[in-house]
Amino acid sequence: MPMIIKKDWLTIGEVSELTGVPIHTLRYWESEFDGYFSPLRTSGRQRRYDEEAVARVLEIKTLLKEEKYSIAGARQVLSRKMNPNGALLGSLAADERLPLPAAVMAPHSNVN
């Protein structure tokens, strides 16, 4: 099932509402999973989440909340998906993707 966000980016509040992860937790995960999860930033330092970033939030949430990994354990699982340079080792297979709830919102302009 393809993941669909009907605008270019989401704010941290929208991601929180969409994923059920509190805003303060999203900020914490950003520091704990540096290199794997980091939303785009505007010139004013506001976070902007694209579809990939939201999918990563859901993946981290699944590892921590459903599969009961510790932060360190989840980091190890995620590091196996990355090469030594920090880049992802290809995209997730279709059956490994987490379903992203459809967001029904008007399009935003691109982040400046």
- Contact by Cβ (8 Å): 99, 1: yes
Crossing angle of helices 71-79/51-61, nearest 10°?
130
Which segment, 24-28, 33-37, 40-44, is predicted with the most confidence on average? 24-28
Query: What is the pTM assigned to this prediction?
Result: 0.70
Mean residue pLDDT of the chain comes to 78
pLDDT of the residue at 4: 59
Strands 40-41 and 47-48: antiparallel
Confidence tier at 82 by pLDDT (50, 70, 90): confident
What pLDDT does residue 34 have?
Answer: 86
**25 in helix, strand or coil?**
helix
> How much of the chain exceeds pLDDT 70, in percent?
69
The CATH classification number of 12-79 equals 1.10.1660.10
